[in-house]
């Protein structure tokens, strides 16, 4: 069973390129969006096990300059195709 | 932007569908030499519905193989329930009645008028109908508050109107046939443009029911299967009414040309399969109709979320009349002076560019986070899913309950969307929104 998580990430200012490169290195991250407002990035993580998720979140939190990772568990989703 | 080479490839493939649609006048004009245009349309609809229903069947089998949970299977019963459900956006008609109406007054009348115009006034003049329709659809969407009238949009419309006048005037001056220089031909093209606009607008006026919303939650393949089934039913209903309505029309006396077309239709009816099996028939039905539809819907289903599909559909649809004109001159020997052709191509280039600029200058991708009362969450998500700017709805656990991925055309549209759509969602406690400034990564899943 796949687990999908939407995480909002707050970072230090002025290093967005460095963070986006670091985040792109993580294979389980399927989407990275740069956003305006309280957070700098919105990422989507898809994993098979909860343990994998914990490892990814821990890895992200250890990237120097990451201030906060705020995650939401996605229960279900509807994507409009047409 | 993420995966730009993959996006470029998809844009090119989408353009290919418009090029293939643009080729329709070539096999159609060859078939006119031997067959009734009404019989050609009838055969095209019959085969379209047959191939599309076959595709639906293949997709249903594929779904059975892929989906292990029997309850989540999409079966014929679910598709028939779709036909019985009501379309709340179209006078609350049952879906079958909605498809019948759009089939008769949209797809059917548009196709008949297109073929009739091709046969009587030529490809170049007929291509004006598409331009007229683009102007009508933009004007109606503007009137309904669904499109913004930016300076680039005004320039785009002005260029289209200019190209329409040049095409109409020059093609009539250089026309070899005396009869084509008439008020009748202009009226025919205008009516064709109106019928095409009716089809474009009503064809997408289709809201999913709550039951369907629940089916998509269990099995997202339903959307693709439903789309092909809808198209198959549209073609089927269009073909179905042909024989009875033409039989009825044959009892009345219209003008000579219509009477002879109807007479020819019944005389040649038993030969309809010869049309389908001829080279021109195969090009018309398979290459210029079925393949472009497949390409279009497969691209729509796999389009990256934060790259606008509608933008590229809008830009690419101008290729179709341009190909029509080129086909008319090169393959069908219609006369159109090269100097004027270059001017028309230049105007089309400007129209494509201004359309692109008008769509991109104000494009906003935004994420909405909603806190909804527990008992209203499903109803709120269903309502949100039906709103046009909403591309994706997610149900979440955390500070917020619902996540909306949206695409809007301007800050005014964003404001209107918040006031009219977000704030009226049932059970809304609070909301927050974030603007996407850059799509760094988007992997295909």
B423 and B318 in one domain? no
Task: Write out chain B residues lying below 8 Å of A36, CB-based.
Answer: 434-435, 437
Q: Sign of torsion, CA B94 B99 B105 B106?
A: positive
Asked if the structure places residue B443 within a domain, the reply is: no
CB pairs under 8 A between A and B: 106
Residues with Cβ within 8 Å of B422's Cβ and at least 6 positions away in sequence, in order, are B368, B370, B428, B431
B181 and B269 in one domain? yes
Residues 11-50 of A with CB under 8 A from B: 20, 23-24, 29-39, 41-42, 46
**Per-residue pLDDT tens digits for B257-315:** 778 888 889 999 888 889 989 999 999 999 999 999 999 988 888 887 766 787 788 88
Say what the pLDDT of residue B176 is. Answer: 60
Instruction: Name the band, by pLDDT with cuts 50, 70 and 90, for residue B49.
Output: very high
B274 versus B253: the higher-pLDDT residue is B274
B292 and B370 in one domain? no
Read off the tokens for B64: 């059975």
Candidates B215, B236, B218; CA nearest to B226 is B215
Asked if the structure places residue B261 within a domain, the reply is: yes
* ipTM of the prediction: 0.83
B327 and B389 in one domain? no
Domain residues for the domain of B275 are 4-360
Domains of chain A by start residue, with CATH: 3-74 (3.30.70.920)
Say what the pLDDT of residue B2 is. Answer: 46
Q: Per-residue pLDDT for B180 more than 70?
A: no
Instruction: Name the band, by pLDDT with cuts 50, 70 and 90, for residue B5.
Output: low
**Per-residue pLDDT tens digits for B160-169:** 999 988 988 8
- CA distances from residue B168 to B164, B171, B244 in whole angstroms, order as listed: 6, 6, 35
Q: Per-residue pLDDT for B209 more than 50?
A: yes
CA distance B64 to B75: 9
Place of tokens 């390129």: A17
Q: Per-residue pLDDT for B1 more than 80?
A: no
B371 and B283 in one domain? no
Mean pLDDT over all residues of chain B? 87
**Could you tell me what percent of chain B has a pLDDT over 90?**
39
B356 and B368 in one domain? no
CA distance B429 to A65: 34
B182 and B73 in one domain? yes
Say what the pLDDT of residue B396 is. Answer: 92
The answer to whether the CB atoms of B398 and A71 lie below 8 A apart is yes
Beta-bridged to residue B155, according to DSSP, are: none
Instruction: Name the band, by pLDDT with cuts 50, 70 and 90, for residue B6.
Output: confident
Question: What distance in Å separates residue A32's CA from the closest CA in chain B?
Answer: 5
B244 and B336 in one domain? yes
**Per-residue pLDDT tens digits for B117-161:** 888 888 888 889 999 998 999 888 888 777 778 888 899 999 999
The answer to whether the CB atoms of B396 and A72 lie below 8 A apart is yes
Give percent helix, percent strand, percent coil of chain A, each to the nearest 5: 25, 45, 30
């Amino acid at each position: 069973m796949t687990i999908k998580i939407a995480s909002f990430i707050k970072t230090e200012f002025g290093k967005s390129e460095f963070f986006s490169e670091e985040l792109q290195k993580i294979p389980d991250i399927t989407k990275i969006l740069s956003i305006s407002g309280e957070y700098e990035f919105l990422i989507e993580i898809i994993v098979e096990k909860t343990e994998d998720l914990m490892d990814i979140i821990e890895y992200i939190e250890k990237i120097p300059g990451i201030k906060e990772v705020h995650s939401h568990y996605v229960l279900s989703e509807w994507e409009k195709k047409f | 932007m993420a995966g730009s080479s993959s996006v470029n490839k998809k844009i090119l493939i989408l353009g290919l569908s418009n090029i293939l649609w643009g080729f329709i006048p070539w096999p159609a004009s060859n078939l006119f030499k031997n067959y009734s245009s009404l019989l050609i349309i009838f055969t095209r609809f019959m085969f379209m519905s047959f191939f599309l229903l076959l595709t639906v069947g293949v997709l249903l089998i594929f779904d059975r193989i892929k989906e292990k949970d029997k309850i989540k299977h999409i079966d014929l019963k679910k598709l028939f329930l779709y036909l019985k459900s009501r379309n709340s956006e179209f006078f609350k008609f049952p879906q079958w009645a909605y498809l019948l109406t759009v089939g008769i007054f949209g797809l059917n009348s548009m196709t008949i008028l297109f073929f009739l115009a091709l046969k009587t006034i030529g490809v170049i003049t007929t291509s004006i109908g598409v331009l007229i329709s683009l102007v009508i659809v933009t004007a109606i969407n503007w009137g309904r508050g669904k499109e913004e009238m930016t300076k680039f949009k005004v320039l785009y419309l002005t260029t289209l109107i200019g190209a329409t006048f040049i095409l109409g005037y020059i093609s009539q001056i250089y026309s070899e046939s005396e009869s084509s220089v008439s008020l009748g031909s202009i009226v025919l093209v205008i009516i064709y443009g109106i019928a095409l606009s009716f089809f474009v607008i009503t064809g997408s006026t289709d809201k999913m029911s709550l039951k369907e919303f629940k089916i998509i939650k269990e099995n997202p393949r339903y959307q693709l299967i439903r789309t092909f089934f809808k198209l198959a039913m549209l073609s089927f209903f269009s073909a179905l009414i042909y024989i009875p309505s033409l039989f009825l029309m044959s009892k009345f006396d219209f003008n000579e040309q219509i009477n002879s077309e109807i007479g020819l239709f019944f005389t040649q009816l038993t030969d309809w399969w010869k049309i389908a099996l001829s080279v021109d028939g195969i090009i018309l039905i398979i290459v210029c109709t079925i393949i472009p539809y497949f390409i279009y819907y497969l691209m729509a289903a796999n389009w990256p979320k934060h790259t606008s599909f509608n933008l590229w559909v809008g830009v690419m649809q101008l290729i179709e009349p341009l190909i029509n004109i080129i086909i008319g001159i090169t393959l069908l020997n219609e006369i159109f002076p090269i100097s004027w052709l270059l001017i028309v191509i230049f105007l089309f280039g400007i129209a494509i560019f201004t359309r692109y600029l008008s769509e991109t200058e104000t494009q906003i991708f935004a994420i909405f986070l909603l806190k909804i009362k527990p008992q209203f969450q499903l109803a709120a998500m269903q309502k949100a899913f039906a709103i046009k700017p909403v591309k994706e709805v997610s149900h979440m656990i955390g500070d917020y309950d619902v996540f909306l991925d949206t695409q809007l055309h301007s800050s005014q549209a964003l404001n209107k969307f918040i006031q009219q759509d977000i704030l009226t969602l049932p059970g809304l406690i609070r909301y927050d929104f974030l603007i996407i400034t850059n799509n760094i990564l988007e992997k295909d899943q």
